[in-house]
Amino acid sequence: MAGQQPKATGKGKSAVKSAVRTLTLFEVFAQHRTPLSLSELARALDIPLSSCHGLVGTLQNEGYLYSIGERHQYYPTRRLFDLATAITSNDPTLELLLPHLEALRDKCSETVILGTRQGPAVLYLNVTEGNQTIRYSADTGDMKQLHSSAIGKALLGELEKSELLSILDKIERPAITPNTLTEQIALVTDIEAGHQRGYFVTRGENVADVWAIARIVHVAGEALGVAIAGPAHRMEENLDEQVSLLLDCCATIEAGFQV
């Protein structure tokens, strides 16, 4: 239900151009899933052929790309995969939380997301996709708006009202869909309601036909958001059951970290 597009756009003020280009190059390969020529990569990255040649040459020399055939197409080696595997397999937070997230996915049959706040956005730390053919799809590493995502609302719900108002004044609140709450009063009211009932909801506010529910878990002093997201009609029909599963999962996680 979500398209796959390169995401390392480098729009942040502190973005380093060479780093963004490198990350985007790998995302281009992930999108196309086939060897690409130098000219094809240059077009996809929207950079001069000479710049692309230098980037590809560097990555090839470092063992991250290799050339294929007489057309001089390129494709990533397994080096990046091996590095990523070594890193993720030793992530102390995910190692403990992943079994709970997978168990929640199996029970609710929808996509389960773990996220944290990164400045004015939500960063998806892990996405465990549902097992149904039609489901909400997202990628680990995706960045979402605080005001339009269920995890974002849950993270905002952790704040004192004065701090909440201050942040809402500072962040952009674009209408991601026609359902997105953009007015400060409406958002504050919605967040306060979520705080009172113990979970937060988005009803087609981030993706038009997707509902999500979220709650915060406190792990080693960090506030992390856990969400269940799926097609609007299924989430609405099974909302009470999904809420119960989410709350039980979060309670189990927090109890485990208190031992």
Q: What is the pLDDT of residues 152-177, one digit of tens each?
A: 999 999 999 999 999 999 999 999 99
- The C-alpha torsion from 55 through 60 and 63 to 64, rounded to 10°, is 50
pLDDT in tens, 171-203: 999 999 999 999 999 999 999 999 999 999 999
Count helices and strands (H / E) in the chain. Answer: 10, 8
pLDDT on residue 10: 47
Task: Indicate the average pLDDT of the chain.
Answer: 90
On whether the CB atoms of residues 147 and 181 are closer than 8 A, the answer is yes
Residue range 71-97: mean pLDDT, rounded = 84
CATH number for the 91-258 domain, one of 3.40.630.10, 3.30.920.30, 3.40.1440.10, 3.30.450.40?
Answer: 3.30.450.40
On whether the CB atoms of residues 223 and 158 are closer than 8 A, the answer is yes
Is the four-CA dihedral 183, 177, 137, 37 of positive or negative sign?
Answer: negative
CATH fold of 17-84, please?
Arc Repressor Mutant, subunit A (1.10.10)
Q: Say how far apart CA 226 and CA 151 lie, in whole Å.
A: 7
pTM attached to this predicted model: 0.75
**The domains spanning 17-84 and 91-258 adopt the same CATH topology:** no
Q: What percent of the chain shows pLDDT beyond 90?
A: 78
Please, what's the b/e burial string for 209-232 (b: 16 or more CB within 10 A of its CB; e: otherwise)? Answer: ebbbbbbbbebeeeebbbbbbbbb
Residue 84 has pLDDT above 90, yes or no: no
pLDDT on residue 44: 95
Residue spans of the domains in the chain: they are 17-84, 91-258
On whether the CB atoms of residues 26 and 7 are closer than 8 A, the answer is no
